[in-house]
């Protein structure tokens, strides 16, 4: 039985290209935009770059840069529970990590949890692109697309959430606080659908851009080398929380050397102040970027189960 389920949730590999990605046009690779490119955008000078960092074929660790035509990779369970989860992986706004904070989530969330995952390959700031809202535009469009096609994947359109890691956690928080921000021109009926996540999970997220807890690399790549105080505050997510920010689940390690735990603490306090339901789990050890692989022998190994239990309590309510 376990083997059957494994083959099912890894179905994208059946039509994979040489780099492990689903083939363009396959059912498990969904382009965000009808023309491939986002409205008003142009192709980057460099083609998409996909790099494998692992020497172990059983533990792939790919990342991608130079995304011109953003897309989703879908991981489908044998028995969907109606929950859809958009994943925005980390990478410091320099790269998008595909496996450690993407496909590696499938065993816990897809096979065991029955959740349908949608891992986003989003556009990055820089790389010859001046639009710092490109990643948010991709996240908004992705959430709208998933919700608009909920019936296709046997999803409840009111139980569509987002889960972001590290800088992808910053992007997920931007989506949760700016789901109705007009960052791209509407192109079709999909853009009339709400982009508000019904819930959000932020895993060791970048939150603060202005204070001592900031991750300098993420800040500099998103905002440039000399952002003014107004810009820093605008992109510090603890200042953007609003009463209709989705219920939030936070995970962080107290010994995180790259993105200090203060990021999660600040966001949690802001959620409580705004009256937004929130649950936070802080672990004494785990460092940064542990995902589900760097948890052996640590209490951080419990976070996927805690997350699934929390998701099960979320009834979901989409924005109008």
Instruction: Tell me whether residue 320 is in a domain.
Output: no
Q: Which helix (H) or strand (E) holds 50?
A: strand 49-52
Rounded to an integer, what distance in angstroms lies between the CA atom of residue 198 and that of residue 32?
Answer: 20
Q: What percent of the chain has pLDDT over 90?
A: 88
Contact 2, 107 (CB under 8 A): no
Average pLDDT for 116-127 = 96
Taking residue 213's Cβ as centre, other Cβ atoms within 10 Å add up to 20
pLDDT surpasses 50 at 1: no
Rounded to an integer, what distance in angstroms lies between the CA atom of residue 222 and that of residue 102?
Answer: 22
Instruction: Tell me whether residue 142 is in a domain.
Output: yes
Instruction: Tell me whether residue 150 is in a domain.
Output: yes
Instruction: Tell me whether residue 290 is in a domain.
Output: yes
254 phi and psi, to 5 degrees? -70, -20
The 10s digit of each residue's pLDDT in 200-251 is 999 999 999 999 999 999 999 999 999 999 999 999 999 999 999 999 999 9
Give the pLDDT confidence score for residue 317 in this predicted structure: 55
Contact 277, 245 (CB under 8 A): no
pLDDT surpasses 70 at 316: no
Q: Which helix (H) or strand (E) holds 65?
A: strand 62-65
137 phi and psi, to 5 degrees? -60, -45
Instruction: Tell me whether residue 319 is in a domain.
Output: no
Report the length, in residues, of the chain.
320
Q: Considering its fold, how many domains does the chain have in total?
A: 1
Which of the two residues, 57 and 116, has the higher pLDDT score?
A: 116
Pairing verdict, β 116-121 and 84-88:
parallel
Rounded to an integer, what distance in angstroms lies between the CA atom of residue 184 and that of residue 32?
Answer: 13
Instruction: Tell me whether residue 33 is in a domain.
Output: yes
Residue 129 burial (10 A CB sphere; 0-12, 13-18, 19+): middle
Give the pTM. 0.93
Averaged confidence pLDDT in the chain = 93
Here the CATH number for the domain that contains residue 297 is 3.40.50.1820
The 10s digit of each residue's pLDDT in 27-85 is 899 999 999 999 999 999 999 999 999 999 999 999 999 999 999 999 999 999 999 99
User: 144, 131, 62, 70: which is closest to 100 by C-alpha?
Assistant: 62
User: 267, 272, 276, 280: which is closest to 307 by C-alpha?
Assistant: 280
Instruction: Tell me whether residue 318 is in a domain.
Output: no
Rounded to an integer, what distance in angstroms lies between the CA atom of residue 14 and that of residue 26?
Answer: 10
Give the pLDDT confidence score for residue 130 in this predicted structure: 80
Give the pLDDT confidence score for residue 294 in this predicted structure: 86
Instruction: Tell me whether residue 317 is in a domain.
Output: no
Residue 209 burial (10 A CB sphere; 0-12, 13-18, 19+): buried
- The domain containing residue 255 runs over which residues? 2-312
Give the pLDDT confidence score for residue 8 in this predicted structure: 37
Give the pLDDT confidence score for residue 288 in this predicted structure: 97
Q: Which helix (H) or strand (E) holds 116?
A: strand 116-121
């Amino acid at each position: 039985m376990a083997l059957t389920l494994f083959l099912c949730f890894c179905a994208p590999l059946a039509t994979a290209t040489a780099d492990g990605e689903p083939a363009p046009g396959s059912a498990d690779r969904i382009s965000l935009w009808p023309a491939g490119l986002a409205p008003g955008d142009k192709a980057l000078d460099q083609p998409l770059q996909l790099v494998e960092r692992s020497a172990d074929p059983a533990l792939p660790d790919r990342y991608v840069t130079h995304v011109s035509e953003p897309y989703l990779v879908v991981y489908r369970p044998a028995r969907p529970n109606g929950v859809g989860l958009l994943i925005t992986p980390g990478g410091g706004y320099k790269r998008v990590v595909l496996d450690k904070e993407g496909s590696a989530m499938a065993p816990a969330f897809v096979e065991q949890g029955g959740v349908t995952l949608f891992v986003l390959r989003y556009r990055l700031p820089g790389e010859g692109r001046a639009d710092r809202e490109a990643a948010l535009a991709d996240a908004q469009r992705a959430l709208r697309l998933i919700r608009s096609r909920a019936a296709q994947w046997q999803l409840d359109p009111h139980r569509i959430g987002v889960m972001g890691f590290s800088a992808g956690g910053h992007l997920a928080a931007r989506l949760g606080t700016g789901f109705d921000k007009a960052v791209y021109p509407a192109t079709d009926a999909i853009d009339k659908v709400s982009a508000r996540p019904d819930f959000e999970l932020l895993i060791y997220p970048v939150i603060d851009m202005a204070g001592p807890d900031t991750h300098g690399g993420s800040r500099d790549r998103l905002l440039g080398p000399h952002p003014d105080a107004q810009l820093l505050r605008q992109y510090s997510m603890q200042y953007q929380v609003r009463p209709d920010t989705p219920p939030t689940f936070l995970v962080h390690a107290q010994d995180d050397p790259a993105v200090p735990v203060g990021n999660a603490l600040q966001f949690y306090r802001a959620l409580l102040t705004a009256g937004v339901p929130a649950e936070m789990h802080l672990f004494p050890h785990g460092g940064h970027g542990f995902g589900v692989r760097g948890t052996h022998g640590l209490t951080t190994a419990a976070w996927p189960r805690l997350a699934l239990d929390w998701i099960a309590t979320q009834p979901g309510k989409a924005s109008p």
